[in-house]
């Protein structure tokens, strides 16, 4: 089967930790062939199917020169998305307007017969910050607003809060305001752009000291291990991109309860792969665009996450 990965440039991959890389490696090991493109390579012209300008690639096993491409820019070959066995949308956040437009092109490709994972409409419908609000029983006190007065009332009630943009990634733009309210006004102005931008506030969860756990759910079923991303050096953020220490561990009973409740709901909507962020007993984000942490879990626990993912992908294709 020919698989198309829509992703960031291969040259930017850090293969020692990249989850898309191990997906590709597992797929090639099973005899599937690989092609890659970036969202900018998608095209839809009147009277023609949605097309991508792709590179056909083979993984070499050499960590330095890890892939071999049959085509190089600007000589990528045009290929209709419907002609691939599956299209895997693996572009990293942020979810900006170009990502939004890409989901529309991918959805048109679906109408033409392409199989896209995760489903483009589901990517649009599940904001990674806002999606938690559907599952009220699993979240800490949370507020979504652009109004500074709302945030001040929320802070007065909860005293110690986290504030973050709705389109951030990797821990960028996250602030903690403690009971003294120091700099709350400045933080609000920064995040809401003087009333023009909606953002989120959540009650601070002291359990963050034990890690912000990434719980992966594949085909509606939880991976039995998670990666606890533990803040370092006085940071409040556990994100690996912000210097957090990643420690793999078995799911707790609460982790499993959350994953088994949310996972099947999202899988039924076309989200084959989901990354739940869990702090203590609460889910704080639902990652759907390009969930990661495959390699850290596999390296530390010996559980092959990529194999579970390709199993689920093949099963989904076989059942349709």
CA atoms within 13 Å, Cβ hemisphere of 94? 10
> Given this model, what pLDDT does residue 244 score?
83
What are the percentages of helix, strand and coil residues in the chain, rounded to 5?
35, 25, 35
Query: How do residues 44-85 score in pLDDT, each as one tens digit?
Result: 999 999 999 999 999 999 999 999 999 999 999 999 999 999
Q: How many angstroms separate the CA atoms of 160 and 168, rounded?
A: 21
Tell me how crowded residue 221 is: count the other CB atoms within 10 A of its CB.
15
Instruction: For residue 242, name the pLDDT band (cuts at 50, 70, 90).
Output: low
pTM, entire model: 0.94
Write the CB contacts of 127 (distance below 8 Å, at least 6 apart in sequence). Answer: 95, 166
Q: How far are the Cα atoms of 30, 70, 82, 132, 227 from residue 54, in angstroms, in the given order?
A: 21, 10, 13, 35, 33
Query: How do residues 293-305 score in pLDDT, each as one tens digit?
Result: 999 999 999 999 9
Catalytic residues: 129, 164, 214, 229, 237, 277, 285, 287
- Determine which helix (DSSP H) or strand (DSSP E) holds 57, and give its type and residue range: strand 51-59
Q: Which one-letter DSSP state was computed for residue 94?
A: P
Query: How do residues 210-241 score in pLDDT, each as one tens digit?
Result: 999 999 999 999 999 999 999 887 777 767 77
Query: How do residues 128-161 score in pLDDT, each as one tens digit?
Result: 999 999 999 999 999 999 999 999 999 999 999 9
Question: Which domains does the chain show, CATH number per domain?
Answer: 2-118 (3.40.50.20), 141-204 (3.30.1490.20), 207-319 (3.30.470.20)
Q: How many angstroms separate the CA atoms of 311 and 313, rounded?
A: 6
């Amino acid at each position: 089967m020919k698989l198309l990965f829509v992703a960031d440039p291969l040259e930017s991959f850090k293969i020692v930790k990249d989850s898309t890389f191990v997906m590709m490696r597992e797929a090639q090991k099973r005899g599937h062939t690989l092609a890659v493109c970036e969202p900018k390579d998608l095209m839809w012209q009147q009277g023609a199917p949605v097309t991508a300008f792709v590179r056909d690639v083979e993984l070499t096993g050499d960590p330095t020169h890890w892939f071999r491409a049959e085509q190089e820019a600007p000589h990528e070959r045009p290929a209709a998305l419907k002609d691939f066995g599956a299209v895997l949308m693996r572009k990293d956040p942020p979810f900006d307007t170009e990502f939004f437009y890409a989901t529309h092109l991918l959805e048109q490709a679906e109408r033409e017969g392409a199989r896209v994972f995760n489903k483009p409409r589901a990517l649009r419908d599940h904001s990674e910050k806002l999606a938690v609000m559907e599952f009220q029983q699993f979240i800490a006190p949370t507020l979504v607003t652009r109004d500074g007065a709302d945030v001040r009332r929320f802070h007065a009630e909860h005293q110690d809060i986290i504030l973050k943009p709705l389109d951030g990634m990797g821990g960028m733009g996250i602030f903690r305001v403690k009971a003294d309210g120091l700099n709350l006004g400045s933080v609000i102005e920064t995040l809401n752009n003087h009333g023009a931008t909606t953002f989120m506030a959540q009650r601070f969860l002291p359990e963050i000291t034990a890690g912000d756990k990434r719980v992966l759910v594949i085909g509606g079923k939880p991976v039995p291990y998670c990666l606890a991303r533990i803040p370092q050096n006085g940071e409040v953020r556990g994100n690996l991109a912000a210097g957090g220490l990643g420690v793999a561990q078995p799911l707790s009973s609460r982790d499993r309860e959350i994953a088994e409740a949310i996972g099947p709901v999202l899988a039924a909507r076309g989200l084959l792969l989901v990354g739940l962020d869990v702090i203590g007993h609460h889910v704080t984000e639902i990652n759907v665009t390009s969930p990661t942490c495959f390699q850290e879990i596999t390296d530390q626990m010996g559980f092959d996450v990529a194999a579970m993912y390709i199993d689920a992908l093949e099963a989904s294709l076989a059942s349709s």
